[in-house]
Amino acid sequence: MIPIPTRRRTNAFTLIELLVVIAIIAILAAILFPVFAQAREKARAISCMSNLRQIGFASAMYTQDNDETLPLGYTWDQNNGAWGGDMWTVSLQPYIQKMGPANGNIINGQLTDGANVFTCPSIHFTKDTNGNTVGNTVAYGYNKNATTTGWTTIGTLHTFPGVALASLKAPANLVTFADAAQIDPKSDPNLITAGDAPCVDPSVLTDAACGPFDLVPDKWVALGTSGWDLTLPGIDTGGDYQNQVRRPHFRHLGTANAAFADGHAKAVRSGSYIARIGSQADIWHNHD
């Protein structure tokens, strides 16, 4: 009796099976990769929040040690043009624990040796051949319009003295430091024109200069760090283009980390920046 031949079974995948597996992997990747990216950004936002908490606590301690006066802002010495910078970082230095690597150099108000408490982990800096960051590394801005007395000349020294804490009407509801950047004007056509006229009286509801403001902070693209002021809507910038593009930067999934005048820190939404001055949502201007 002649045996009937049997077909040998193979363990290889068919082309259809391979295509199905590849399609499933592609679908899972499309679903999970954005989740992973958001998780990484959330971790960076938490690290950034730790920085702002240190800055907020340092500012509160500095204020208590200096007759309840907030830190200096930008300072420049006319007799030595190479000297000057973000003096609020220098003022807060003795109160900051995580200042950067050992033997780090502070030049004109910024650390030049890698990551430090003034550097947001969501920002990537260019490095030179020695591994040092290039340009201004201070990723946070100081709310100078609410926390300093403005441009002041003392002899050959030009500076922004801090205001008295008592002059702040609601310290727990006023941002003093926040994520900031120089914003690309192309990312918001109204960046320069909207909200730059001075608000005279927020109680006059017909005054458009008091907001709400026609700006789109969620679409802002950063060109570089700020390190100094936060330009606020409703305040005349005097036509200074560079100052006009220094704004809070809502880089953490639509939020910005901020430290408040009473020392606490939290994440704030972009809607607070475009809210009408004096409204409950406005945390950027000095009001009740």
Residue 159 lies in a domain: yes
Question: Which residues, in sequence order, are CB contacts of 157 under 8 Å at separation 6+?
Answer: 75, 76, 77, 78
54 is written with which tokens? 């240190």
Domain that holds residue 269: 32-274
Q: What is the mean pLDDT of the chain?
A: 83
DSSP string computed for the chain: -PPPP-PPP--PPPHHHHHHHHHHHHHHHHHHHHHHHHHHHHHHHHHHHHHHHHHHHHHHHHHHHTTTBPPP-EEEETT-TT-EEEHHHHHHGGG-S---STT--EETTEE-SS--TTS-TT----B-TTS-B-S----EEE-HHHHB---EEETTEEE-PBPBGGG-S-GGG-EEEEEEEEEPGGG-TTTTTTT-SPPS-TT-TT-GGGS-----GGG--EEEE--SB---TTS--TT-HHHHHEEE--TBTTEEEEEETTS-EEEEETHHHHSPTTSTT--SS---
Residue 42 lies in a domain: yes
Task: Please state, in angstroms and rounded to a whole number, the distance separating the CA atoms of residues 230 and 248.
Answer: 6
Residue 245 lies in a domain: yes
209 is written with which tokens? 């200069």
Domain count, the chain: 1
Residue 280 lies in a domain: no
Taking the whole predicted model, whether its pTM rises above 0.85 is answered as no
Q: How far is CA 12 from CA 6, 19, 145, in A?
A: 18, 13, 71
Residue 288 lies in a domain: no
Residue 8 lies in a domain: no
**pLDDT tens figures, 20-77:** 888 888 887 777 666 566 678 788 899 999 999 999 999 999 999 999 999 988 888 7
pLDDT of residue 163: 96
**pLDDT tens figures, 138-195:** 889 999 999 999 989 988 888 899 999 999 999 999 999 999 998 999 999 999 888 8
Residue 232 lies in a domain: yes
For residue 89, what pLDDT band results from cuts at 50, 70 and 90? confident
12 is written with which tokens? 């290889």
pLDDT at residue 111 greater than cutoff 60:
no
Residue 118 lies in a domain: yes
pLDDT of residue 160: 92
